[in-house]
Amino acid sequence: MTLTPDLSPTPERQLDADEVDLLDLDRWAADGPPHEWFARKRAEAPVWHHPGPDGTRGFWVVSDHEHVTALGRCPHVMSSDEDNGGIVGLGPGDELQAAFDASNAELAAIGLHDNDAKMLLSLDPPEHTQNRKVLNREFTPGAIGSLEPAVRELAGTLLDAVDRARGDGDDVVDFTTEVAMPLPMQVIGDLLGAPRHTHRDLLRWSNEAVTGTDPEYLSPGGSQLAAAAQLAQLFSTMQIERQAEPTDDLVSKLIAAEIDGEPLSQLRFIMYLLLLVTAGNETTRNAMSHGVWAFAEHPEQWDRLREDPSLLSGAVEEVLRWASPLLYFRRNALEDIEVAGQLIRAGDIVSLWYVSANRDESVFDDPFTFDIGRSPNHHVAFGGGGPHFCLGASLARLELRVLFESMLERYSRIELAGPPDRLRGNFLHGVKHLPVRLKS
């Protein structure tokens, strides 16, 4: 491969005054994604080197749709494998990276940090391909479609509770905690076969395991590893029960699953379930909250949807684009490669910013307008294709469609009742609290 001269900044370079520090979690909590800055990067430097603190190596920021999509589809060059750095964490100075590093060190100390301790997302093909097949059939559009009556019932029950509270005189609803948080967790909890009384614990442990950079989600003395251990204990108990009496839930299917004729190891079994609980909950709930937030700020779009419900599928896609519930995924360069005139060296951290690609002016007309009739809508909220395209995409779409459909039947208008409270983090585009008034 012919390479251009090294154009990457030296490790000693510091952020210029007009740059945004993507490691500043307090800035993310206060202001959300720096959309204007990303727009400038897309125009001037779609592959840009973000310096690390104190002269550390830093990481590459990929901001445009073309390169985010392309680099997400070449695992032979851009690795997701945990051995090469995994999919989360931006290196030194990143609080989420520090939390994961601490957890991995604890796992290694007790001999559990081996290949089976990797989640599906942190594997490269061909191993990733083999492991993904274990659950592919359970998440096809057809299989997910059969869940619609159950999802509709769950959504209706949550909205009934909200309406009863409104009837008692409390017209302000925290949509995130009352609807967006419990709905996806109840759906995935039922799919797993977890008892209903454990769903609140599943939600709490999931928050601690994934969003541990926000103090609100950490219990006293808690940690990501402690939360994961609580989840693992529950899954082990369920495993024993299903081995004695199998059912049709995902736990039973994972127990019966084989890879190359061998059953899943205990650790790999646990990692599958940890992924389902966290990924099946966090991103969908944030899309729900951002969608309701968007409809509150753009009431003409809610009116448009009420007048023409055939726009619902397109509205779901626009909510996903607008929300970008997953801000980025990390990849790790396996070899030197030139991208957009920049030399990325083997071992470099490369971050693919979906939140920026979903506002790319070269792909989306008027990208900063929330438009439920947008077509085409080639968003990358589910990763932009490739081997790591989101396994739960059909489930997320179903839950969003059913929720908004149920709300359309009940509410003529959605109004913000106070400022939304953003998650303190640079990985999930989280909304912790969303106070709204739902008008019948």
- Structure-block tokens of residue 364: 């989306």
Q: pLDDT at residue 6 above 70? A: no
Distance between terminal CA atoms of the chain? 63
Q: pLDDT at residue 107 above 90? A: no
Average pLDDT on 212-228 reads: 78
Give the model's pLDDT for residue 29: 97
Give residue 2's pLDDT band: very low, low, confident or very high (50, 70, 90). Answer: very low
Mean pLDDT of the chain: 91
The CA angle 192-322-77, to the nearest 5 degrees, is 70
Residues contacting 316, CB < 8 A, separation 6+: 397, 400, 401, 404
Average pLDDT on 378-388 reads: 91
Residue 292 burial (10 A CB sphere; 0-12, 13-18, 19+): buried
Q: pLDDT at residue 354 above 50? A: yes
Nearest Cα neighbor of 183 from 98, 311, 280, 103 is: 280
The CA angle 29-213-89, to the nearest 5 degrees, is 100
Average pLDDT on 103-122 reads: 76
Give residue for tokens 């948080």. Answer: 181
The CA angle 416-417-420, to the nearest 5 degrees, is 70
Lowest-pLDDT range of 94-103, 321-330, 412-421: 94-103
The CA angle 27-31-32, to the nearest 5 degrees, is 95
DSSP H helical segments within 262-388, as ranges?
266-279, 282-297, 299-307, 312-323, 354-357
Distance CA 82, CA 389 (A): 18
Give the model's pLDDT for residue 81: 95
Q: pLDDT at residue 384 above 90? A: no
Q: pLDDT at residue 363 above 90? A: yes
268-277 burial, b at 16+ Cβ within 10 Å, e below that, comes to bbbbbbbbbb
Q: pLDDT at residue 295 above 60? A: yes
Distance CA 340, CA 172 (A): 48
Q: What global pTM score does this model have?
A: 0.93
Give the model's pLDDT for residue 205: 82
Give the model's pLDDT for residue 385: 84
Average pLDDT on 92-119 reads: 79
Give residue 105's pLDDT band: very low, low, confident or very high (50, 70, 90). Answer: confident
Give residue for tokens 């609807």. Answer: 179
Q: pLDDT at residue 402 above 80? A: yes
Q: pLDDT at residue 366 above 70? A: yes
